[in-house]
Amino acid sequence: MAPQPAKPAAPASRGAAPADNNPVGPPSGLSAIPSQYNSEQGLRQSMKQIGYDEAREDGYRLKGIQLIDSVRQSLQLPVKTFDTAAIYYHKFRVRFPSNEYNYEDVALAALFVACKAEDTIKKSKDILCAAHNLRQPHDHKTPDDKIFEAPSRFTVGLERHILETVGFDFRVPYPQKLLIKMVRRMFPREDNTTREEGKRFLHVAYDMSIDLYKTFAPVKQATFTLVLAILELTAMLLDTDPAKTREFENCATWHTQRACVLETMLDLLDLYTQFPKSTKVGTQFVLEKVMDVKIDINNLLAKEKRYRYHGWCDRCAPDVLDTRSVTPGSATSPATNPSLPGSGSSKRKRPPSEGTQRFVFDADEARKEKELVTRYFNDEYEEHEEEVEEPIKDSEPRHPGRSNHSYRGPSHNPPDYGWPGHSRSSRHGHPSDRHRSRRGHGY
């Protein structure tokens, strides 16, 4: 083995040597810390900025999640890919209005990005082909068909916007795995009766975990909150023995709060009462039963003096949402019109002051970096007072080149009274001078 060259000795210095020899300087762009969760108030403010039409956009939200679930089952992808795609879909549509992107294109692009994030890689043409075959079963096609060339380019163009929207933060709650463990804890395998009851309970709770992603609850709450809300709501709908869920009543033990659990339950109940046919659990129960459970939870909120949404601020509450007319671009969308170029509507102009954006995941490191870089951008000034003697200047004449004395003799110029002079020459005189008196010289 060849001997390694000796390192040169560092020059001696009077002060302490720096711990890092790398040069310190400003970053190449803007630093942003991605947020995994958002509040109901923050979501409403974002929807207000894009002109969110609640009556129209709720239907697009349900159809988009249903499309993701159908394509996921057609491609035999795991449920965690569905969870990730649904989160990306919600975050994108809260930021961008529907008149810029069709909900079908966003749903398929979100599933394409989720496949990469969850290591269940599928090509964009495979996803587009599966969606086409589900939409038109009589016209079966393969992923190699030329009809998917333009939509594939459009999907890849949307991928960058989705990554910027989520802030390259791929943390997504997966409630299904924890839900199965808790159901097994509630119903131990002792006898056949308990086993059958546990299977029925798990079947309803698992379908409810899929319906949960048709709301904004996964964007607002953590995994334990979602699971506890599903367990309690399923037990209330199935009239399960309260002793089964008694150990889950202490929310502090499960790293959550009671107000967050009640908010998630009401989000699900709003979905089942307003759009029961678009869900899996809404059609399994009578509407009167769902309404009774919802009334009980509302009474519990009123008794405990809680808000409908956790962390709601009345002073910061936004105004009524601007329900302007929003038309989806389905007619001009590359997913439905393959003759259009794929990258036509994916070119979204970036604000000129945004620059290159960096995403930092450690808040402490971002704070240290900001404090270190601030000195390169802050302008510091020092004020000094200095006394200076200015010489007093002599007074200048009113009209330079003229004398300050006036003579009334005939050989001298007439006095200046501040009026403009009139020429007596016939060549340069004003046409109206001939009507003036000579004795008064026009005054």
Summarised one tens digit per residue, pLDDT across range 102-145 is 889 999 999 999 999 998 888 999 999 999 999 988 988 888 88
pLDDT, position 417 = 52
Domain span at residue 143 reads 40-172+364-369
CB 340 within 8 A of CB 334: yes
Give residue 179's pLDDT.
93
Instruction: Tell me if 439 is assigned to some domain.
Output: no
Kindly state whether residues 92 and 146 are assigned to the same domain. yes
pLDDT value for 343: 39
Write down the pTM of the prediction: 0.67
Considering the domain architecture, whether residues 165 and 212 belong to the same structural domain is answered as: no
Question: Which residues 6+ apart lie within 8 Å of 257 measured at CB?
Answer: 225, 251, 310
Question: Quick one: 253 and 220 in the same domain?
Answer: yes
Q: Are residues 252 and 157 in the same domain?
A: no
Q: Looking at the structure, do residues 187 and 89 belong to the same domain, yes or no?
A: no
CB 334 within 8 A of CB 154: yes
State the Cα–Cα distance between residues 36 and 221, nearest whole angstrom.
9
Confidence at residue 171, expressed as pLDDT on a 0 to 100 scale: 81
In-domain check, residue 342: no
Find out whether 250 and 257 touch, Cβ atoms under 8 Å. Answer: no
- Out of 369, 391, 417, a domain closes at 369
Residues of the chain with pLDDT under 70: 1-34, 317-361, 396-443
Does residue 329 sit within a domain? no
Q: What SS3 class is residue 37?
A: coil
Give the tokens for residue 146: 């030329």
CB 107 within 8 A of CB 64: yes
Residue 10 lies in a domain: no
Strand-pairing partners, residue 30, are: 357
Whether 352 is covered by a domain: the verdict is no
Question: What pLDDT does 325 receive?
Answer: 36
Q: Is residue 144 part of a domain?
A: yes
For residue 314, what pLDDT is reported?
72
pLDDT tens-digit profile of 381-435? 788 888 888 888 777 666 555 555 544 555 555 555 555 555 555 455 555 554 4
Task: Note the pLDDT of residue 65.
Answer: 93
- Please give the Cα distance from 261 to 281 (Å, whole number): 19
**Three-state DSSP class for residue 30:** strand
Tally the residues of the chain: 443
The pLDDT of residue 365: 79
Is the residue at 382 inside a domain? no
pLDDT at 340: 38
Number of domains in the chain: 2
Residues 168 and 192 in one domain: no
Domain at 153, CATH number: 1.10.472.10
221 in the same domain as 189: yes
